[in-house]
Structure 1
Amino acid sequence: MQLYCIDTGVPENGDATLPLVILHGLFGSADNWRSHIKQWQDERRVIAVDLRNHGRSPHADGMQYAAMAADVVALLDELEVKRFDLLGHSMGGKVAMTLARLHPARVAHLIVADVAPVAYDHGHDDIFAAMRRVEAGRPTSRRDAAALMQEEVDDAATRQFLATNLLRGDDGIMYWRVGLDEISAGYEAIIAPPDGDRPFEGATLLIRGGASHYVPDRYRESVDAVLPNAEWQTLDGAGHWLHAEQPEAFRDAVNRFLAAS
């Protein structure tokens, strides 16, 4: 699996700084992180990855976390990146936890954004329904696609986020660039806990949104079992997409953690 990535390369003054590898969440892509990449790239090499079935990466069966982590490791091997700081949001956070557990010597710092190492309930039925409605409706514009999605998804921000995955085909029809069939078939693996049978004992920051339900206090025991050295930080008022809702506060928390540990 040859993944696509945005790779800024090593900046002139960043030779001694480890690369920062970024893994997006479900239905996201490396493109969602461009504003953060722009801020970080002057100080360090940044590698933002499109996970399988997302963005510009290939589509393939299987959404197990061990498989997705292996995809990322293969990419980093190709780029000759041996040791790195690792940031993952939501589904990407579970990929990051899996990678850190399976290859702890390669991860210097781990940042997990608004996800816990637990199994979650089904929570994307409306999104799958909206995306299938767009497929069936064969819209010829983003406006028409948004109208179709609105029949299933009330939240405008969610519709706007999903629309980042729309492309126009040669026939003028809008289509999803994500592997929707593969993601749907692998959804049970996506909501499952991360893979790995041992804790990651390296320096870790768990940053959560204060208005998000993904990492409540009751998950602390589960987090401690997998990430025993995790520092918790809450961005008050932020929801699940905390890096987009409060970008400066999110970036400040990441920078402080990387500088201090």
Structure 2
Amino acid sequence: MKLNFILRQSDSTSPNLPIILIHGLFGNLDNLGILGRNFQKHHDIIQLDLRNHGLSPHSPEMNYFVMAQDVLELLDQLKMEKMIIIGHSMGGKVAMTMTALIPERIKTLVIIDIAPVVYPLHRHNEIFMALNAVTDAKITQRHMAGKLIRNFVKDENIILFLLKSFHEGIWRFNVPVLWDQYQYIVGWEPIPTWQGPLLFLCGELSHYIKREHREQIVSYFPIARLHVISGCGHSPHAEKPDVVLRSIHRFFEKTYINQFS
């Protein structure tokens, strides 16, 4: 599948490895843009829409292997032999799955607030109810969509995030397929161990990376490191971008030999 993407050329005359930014569920290629704008000083940046999101094609199939394969096809199209990948939430699972496809081509991974585990099946029920309510009401104006969503979702940040993908009465993510394939989105399929350097960034107030997940994380990524971003929820890159950027820059500068602890 040919994904919609933006390639931003580095400001440097001798750029470092390209960085691939992969958004999460209900997102689009703009979501990690604040990171991309910073790293563009020294790296080419690729921002993409995953299948069934943004302006990328729709498909009835939605699992991590096919999403990772989509990204790999884009990297091959762009003739990128080695790269750094940063993924948030669902995009983090796509990034981790890519280590099974091209382990030797990935220099390092940064995974934002997600673990390689199976999550509870119904954690987004209220969001799906809200999205379907907007569609059923045939609302076309964004402010009216927001008003209806507030009957289901109380977190204003989530509401504003969802509305970024609402355009003239249409959700740019494929709601029916995301619902139909949701078991695969919250799920996880085992992958081979990857020995490369990996940083997990976790929101202190989030519940996506828990202490009981650490054993499974290490089984897949033996030299992974974890950094907790204080006072943040599931999207620390949006809540405290400066802190997240400092953490990633420090990670890039280190030798990546510390064990996950």
**TM-score normalised by structure 2 residue count:** 0.94
Q: Distance in 2 between matches of 1:199 and 1:101?
A: 8
| Matching residue of 2:143 | 143
| Matching residue of 1:22 | 21
Alpha-carbon distance, 1:9 to partner: 2.2
| Matching residue of 2:203 | 209
Alpha-carbon distance, 1:102 to partner: 2.4
Q: Distance in 1 between matches of 2:203 and 2:14?
A: 30
Q: Distance in 2 between matches of 1:105 and 1:235?
A: 30
Q: Distance in 2 between matches of 1:247 and 1:202?
A: 25
How many residue pairs align between the two structures? Answer: 254
What's the Cα RMSD here?
Answer: 1.1
What percent of counterpart residues are identical?
Answer: 35
Structure 1: runs of 5 or more not aligned: 169-173
| Matching residue of 1:119 | 118
Structure 2: runs of 5 or more not aligned: 256-261
Q: Distance in 2 between matches of 1:130 and 1:82?
A: 42
| Matching residue of 1:80 | 79
Alpha-carbon distance, 1:220 to partner: 0.7
Please say if 1:41 is aligned against 2:74.
no
8 Å contact from structure 2 (residues 140, 170) kept in 1? no
Please say if 1:181 is aligned against 2:189.
no
Q: Distance in 2 between matches of 1:14 and 1:252?
A: 22
Q: Distance in 1 between matches of 2:98 and 2:190?
A: 8
Which consecutive segments of 4 or more residues in structure 1 shift more than 6 A?
A: none
Q: Deviations over 1:151-203 (max 9, x none)?
A: 111111111110011011xxxxx21011111111110000111x453111101
Say which is worse superposed, 154-163 or 65-74, in terms of deviation: 154-163
Alpha-carbon distance, 1:11 to partner: 3.4
Q: Distance in 2 between matches of 1:21 and 1:256?
A: 18
Q: Distance in 2 between matches of 1:89 and 1:153?
A: 21
8 Å contact from structure 1 (residues 101, 196) kept in 2? no
Please say if 1:260 is aligned against 2:254.
yes
Please say if 1:32 is aligned against 2:37.
no
Alpha-carbon distance, 1:64 to partner: 1.0
| Matching residue of 1:171 | none
Q: Distance in 1 between matches of 2:44 and 2:54?
A: 21
Q: Distance in 1 between matches of 2:214 and 2:33?
A: 31
8 Å contact from structure 1 (residues 238, 245) kept in 2? yes
- Counting only pairs closer than 5 Å after superposition, residues 89-238 of structure 1 correspond to structure 2 as 89-121=88-120, 122-168=122-168, 174-193=169-188, 195-238=189-232
Alpha-carbon distance, 1:238 to partner: 0.8
Q: Distance in 2 between matches of 1:237 and 1:136?
A: 37
